[in-house]
Chains A and B, each alone.
Chain A
């Protein structure tokens, strides 16, 4: 079956550091890939997405590229802020947004 593997957290960074959260997936065909973010006390919010190979999703300074050859969708940001502290979930879907398969989530903690 489909699965998503993302790096264990927490990831602890200082403000303005470079961020990478790794995500790899297993799925047949060509799934859509997503990154969701969950801020403390809030629901999951879609951060970015990519629907086909070599697509780059980007939002709020975050970006991730759909790499079919390595089955990866790593999340990156050049300079993190304290306000980026949250839990980040990588996910895939083979039917649009309907049913999502999630990774375990990675907590990011950014200190001033």
Chain B
């Protein structure tokens, strides 16, 4: 099946700094990618839908200025957590939909810890 690569898998950063997470579709072109966040013992919550060449669509309650999403090419979307704070510590996971198969494939996830 198709592969989605997410990097880094783990990152620790200092409060106030920014962190960029990359999501790549390795063998298909993804016009749409999705970013999820998972708190401990909670569901994966959709944060935003990333569309190639246009602005991301954010879910209610997600700060677009805090979580910057860029989908500059058909194989890459990035999520930047700006001015990170400890409450941003979480597991972030991306997915990309392969339009030829219809199925969504997921990255490995990124464990962000803000200290």
A contact residues vs B (CB 8 Å cutoff): 4, 36, 41-46, 89, 96-105
Contacts and interface: CB of A to CB of B under 8 A. Distances in A.
Interface of B: 1, 4, 6, 9, 32, 34, 36, 41-46, 49, 93, 95, 97, 102-109
If over half of B's interface residues share one DSSP class (helix, strand or loop), that class is named, otherwise mixed; here it is strand
B42 A97 contact: no
A43 B49 contact: no
A46 B103 contact: yes
B103 A100 contact: no
22 contacts: A36-B106, A41-B108, A43-B106, A43-B107, A43-B108, A44-B106, A45-B1, A89-B44, A96-B102, A97-B104, A98-B97, A99-B46, A100-B34, A100-B44, A100-B104, A101-B43, A101-B46, A102-B44, A103-B43, A104-B41, A104-B42, A104-B43
Given A102-B43, A104-B43, A43 B102 contact: no
A4 B42 CA distance: 11
Nearest to B44: A102
